[in-house]
Amino acid sequence: MKSSTLGTNTSPAEVTNIDRFGFWVLISGKEYFLSYDDFPWFRKATVEQILHVELLSGEHLHWPELDVDLCLQSLEHPEAFPLIYQD
């Protein structure tokens, strides 16, 4: 008996908590905190917009409604990814 080919192995990203300082995302058993100071694009986002996150290619997060894309490296080392942002 031959096994059929399985679909793509995916591990979805999940927002686990949101507070006034930022929010937490769980990816492959590891939780990341995204502060609004380090990731200002989320500061004025709605809860629904923040919760709608997609994990693409295992290393790339995408928030479709906000048009925000982040690599996991930027979550692990935000200081290595300086922001140029103006309100």
List the chain domain ranges.
Answer: 14-80
Query: pLDDT by residue (tens digit) across 32-84?
Result: 999 998 899 999 999 999 999 999 988 899 999 999 999 999 888 878 877 65
pLDDT of residue 31: 96
Cβ–Cβ < 8 Å for 23, 42: yes
Tokens for 40? 């200002």
**From CA 71, how far away is CA 63, in angstroms rounded?**
12
Q: Say whether pLDDT at 22 is over 70.
A: yes
CA max distance for the chain:
61
What span, in angstroms and rounded, lies between the C-alpha atoms of 24 and 13? 10
Classify 14-80 by CATH class: alpha beta
Handedness of CA 56, 33, 22, 19 (dihedral sign): positive
Instruction: Calculate ∠ Cα 53-55-84, nearest 5°.
Output: 70
DSSP character at residue 5: P
Q: Which pLDDT band, with edges at 50, 70 and 90, does 9 fall under?
A: very low
